[in-house]
Amino acid sequence: MRKRIWGILAAGVVAGGLAGFVLSRDTKQATPPAPSPVEFRKGELFPTLVLPRLRDGQPGSIGDFRGKKLILHIFASW
């Protein structure tokens, strides 16, 4: 009786591993779209960009800082 249980358990593990392998190989990798190149030249205006403000959550525009020095720190954490 014990041999039979171990045999069934081993067959289940092998079948599960095989199914996992087959399913992981079948997924297609999505190709992310290529980013469009953006060129900035000295003296050009920055494109309009509206983001929520940290202090109140209201929309704020980069244009609000026109004529002032601004450090724009953008990062991603994925």
> How many residues comprise the chain?
78
What is the CA 51 to chain-centroid distance, rounded?
19
| Threshold 0.85, pTM exceeds | no
Tell me which DSSP letter residue 68 carries: S
The residue with tokens 């992310």 is 32
Distance of alpha carbon 10 from alpha carbon 13, whole angstroms: 5
Tens-level pLDDT at each residue, the chain (78 residues): 777 888 888 888 888 888 887 777 655 666 777 777 777 778 877 777 888 888 898 998 888 888 888 887 878 777
- Annotated domain spans of the chain: 44-77
Report the amino acid identity of residue 12: G
